[in-house]
């Protein structure tokens, strides 16, 4: 059975007991493509770890979501994440002076 990016999908956060939230709450999307794009492009990487996508009866973990995003059949334009600024280390700056 071929995967349909047009099917409604649900994105569930990681089940983390000791933390209040996994960075996002449960979300429902009109299409799996929108859910996959949101998961890869907008969620912080640590929030995606342990989360899963449910489309009909199929479940996709972090690697499954990434493979759907990288698929040649992915219907939406891909927008790379903006690079995160590197943390500055005050000790390193002091040594260089």
Q: What is the pLDDT of residues 2-37, one digit of tens each?
A: 789 999 999 998 876 445 554 678 999 999 999 999
* Residue 49: pLDDT band with limits 50, 70, 90: confident
Tell me the DSSP string of 9-56: EEEE----SSSS-SSS--EEESSHHHHHHHHHHTS-HHHHTT-EEEET
50 neighbors 62 (Cβ within 8 angstroms):
yes
**Number of CB atoms found within 10 A of residue 16's CB:** 13
pLDDT at position 96 over 60:
no
Residues in Cβ contact with 65 at an 8 Å cutoff, skipping those fewer than 6 apart? 36, 39, 40, 48, 51, 52, 53
Q: Where are the domains of the chain?
A: 9-78
């Amino acid at each position: 059975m071929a995967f349909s990016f047009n099917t409604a999908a649900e994105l569930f956060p990681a089940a983390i007991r000791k933390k209040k939230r996994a960075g996002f709450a449960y979300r429902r999307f009109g299409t799996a493509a929108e859910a996959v794009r949101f998961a890869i492009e907008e969620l912080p990487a640590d929030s995606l770890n342990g989360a899963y996508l449910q489309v009909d009866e199929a479940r996709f973990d972090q690697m499954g979501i990434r493979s759907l995003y990288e698929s040649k059949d992915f219907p939406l334009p891909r927008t790379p994440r903006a690079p995160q600024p590197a943390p500055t280390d005050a000790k390193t700056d002091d040594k260089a002076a």
